[in-house]
């Protein structure tokens, strides 16, 4: 195992915790993301909804990851924390509002 000097180790821990905190702040509970193609074939009415949990996903759970967030299904217990999601069916409704001047 690689041993780091104490100063470098604590700096690395701070950087990682700041990155995780910023990621947490950028996504909110209830946000919907599309499913990754490898986890579920593209279907316009299926999304993964954020539950607000940030932990290591268990086998069979959906989690959210990526620079452009997408939902993935965990095929085994993972050791890296991610946002947990749940598979949800959504309905898209288009609203047109006429504005008269």
Question: Tens digit of pLDDT for each residue in 76-89?
Answer: 999 999 999 998 88
Burial of 49 (0-12, 13-18, 19+ CB in 10 A): middle
Q: How many CB atoms lie within 10 A of CB 43?
A: 10
Q: What pLDDT, on the 0 to 100 scale, is given for residue 13? A: 72
d(CA 60, CA 73): 6
What is the reported pTM? 0.62
Q: What pLDDT, on the 0 to 100 scale, is given for residue 45? A: 80
Tokens, residue 94: 């288009």
Q: In sequence order, which residues have a C-beta less than 8 Å from that of residue 54 and are 6 or more positions away? A: 20, 24, 81, 82, 83, 84
Question: Tens digit of pLDDT for each residue in 15-69?
Answer: 666 665 555 555 666 678 877 776 666 677 888 888 888 999 999 999 998 888 8
Residue written as token pair 């509970």:
29
């Amino acid at each position: 195992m690689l041993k780091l000097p104490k100063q470098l180790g604590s700096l690395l821990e701070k950087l990682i915790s700041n990155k995780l905190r910023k990621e947490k702040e950028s996504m909110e509970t209830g946000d919907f993301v599309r499913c990754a193609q490898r986890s579920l074939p593209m279907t316009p009415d299926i999304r993964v909804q954020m539950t607000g949990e940030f932990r290591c996903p268990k086998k069979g759970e959906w989690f959210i990851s990526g620079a452009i967030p997408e939902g993935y299904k965990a095929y085994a217990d993972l050791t890296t924390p991610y946002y947990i999601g749940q598979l949800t069916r959504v309905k898209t409704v288009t609203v047109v509002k006429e504005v008269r001047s």
